[in-house]
Amino acid sequence: MTNVILLVLIAPAILLAAAYLYVSRIISTPPKGRAEDYLESKNFKNKKIIACIGDSLTHGNIGQSWVDILRKDFPEYIFLNEGVNGNTAWQVIQRLDPILACKPDIVVLMIGSNDAMGSFDINSGLRYKRNNNLPEVPTFEKYKEQLSEILKSLSGVPKIAVCTIPPLGENKDSPANKHVEKFNNLIKLTSRNHNIDLLPVSESLWLSLDSRTYPLNSDYNPKGIKIMHRIFGGIFHHYIFKKSWNQIAKSKGQWILFDQIHLNETGANIVHKIVKNYISTG
């Protein structure tokens, strides 16, 4: 009887640990179809190559993947998914060589959300520096330098577009989104200075938010524990309980972001449409 009681007590903990390991493995898995994969396979000759570079918003296993939708739209093209969960602009710089070695015809760059979160407050910055092994805490000024460095490195690519970044939470007047706006204004200015196409991701997402049909429940909270609770809570419900990202978002009063950071199906479809239209122009 004692063994049975003990098993009943520890079984939930064992199941929870197993579920945590399961979803942790999913989110730590690199996206399918990276530059390194194609360089090894030599499976990209005589095909148009489109490199989508960014962070988890491009990686697409925390939230809906817009790159996977594009692959279905353009099966004749090769899409390099160069989104890596948690990446900052500095980290993108470190991994550009294999992307450029594939000689992409088009690059779509969406990077800056983690730089914005990491520079929003000192605790966030220290957390990013520690968790990402960064040489220094993310700052707006460093992002400004690094974004220009990325675009200079990509200057040999025939067609380049840089995206404005999505909001943090869905309150336009929040301190976090005022901070994001500062980054987006810089992205717009930098794209003009480098004569690079600009894709209005942020603006299109805010237009969608204007049509929300239920009230916003809560604002973006930068505390690490709160962020991880929102992210892992959503991931558990999606991968374990098979709920859609939209269902998870709605249960939290969110419209385009299931955890106030990552895109649900609604948000990803908006990004997909913008990038699809850009690719379709040639």
Going by C-alpha positions, the residue among 8, 12, 92, 4 that lies closest to residue 53 is: 92
Architecture of domain 31-210+263-280: 3-Layer(aba) Sandwich (3.40)
Percentage of the chain with pLDDT > 70? 90
102-106, 110-114, 217-221: segment of lowest average pLDDT: 217-221
Q: Encoding tokens for residue 76?
A: 């004749």
Q: What is the mean pLDDT of the chain?
A: 92
Q: Encoding tokens for residue 118?
A: 């990491």
Delimit the domains of the chain by residue range.
31-210+263-280
- Is pLDDT above 80 for 3? no
Rg from Cα positions in the chain: 20
**Ramachandran area for residue 124 (φ above 0: left; ψ -120 to 50: alpha; else beta):** alpha
Average pLDDT over residues 104-127: 96
φ/ψ of 78, rounded to 5, equals: -105, 125
19-23, 185-189, 223-227, 256-260: segment of lowest average pLDDT: 19-23
Rounded to 5°, the CA angle 29-30-36 comes to 145
Average pLDDT over residues 241-269: 97
The single-letter DSSP state of residue 210 is T
Which tens digits make up the pLDDT trace of 29-60?
889 899 999 888 766 667 899 999 999 999 99
User: How far is it, in rounded angstroms, from Cα 40 to Cα 20?
Assistant: 32
The burial class, CB within 10 Å (0-12 / 13-18 / 19+), for 224 is middle
Which residue type, as a one-letter code, is found at position 203? E
Which tens digits make up the pLDDT trace of 181-202?
999 999 999 999 999 999 999 9
User: How far is it, in rounded angstroms, from Cα 217 to Cα 226?
Assistant: 15
Average pLDDT over residues 151-180: 97
- Is pLDDT above 70 for 4? no
User: Confidence band (pLDDT; 50, 70, 90) for 164?
Assistant: very high
Which residue type, as a one-letter code, is found at position 48? K
Q: Would you state the torsion angle of the CA atoms of residues 265, 266, 272, 273, taken in this order, to the nearest 10 degrees?
A: 150
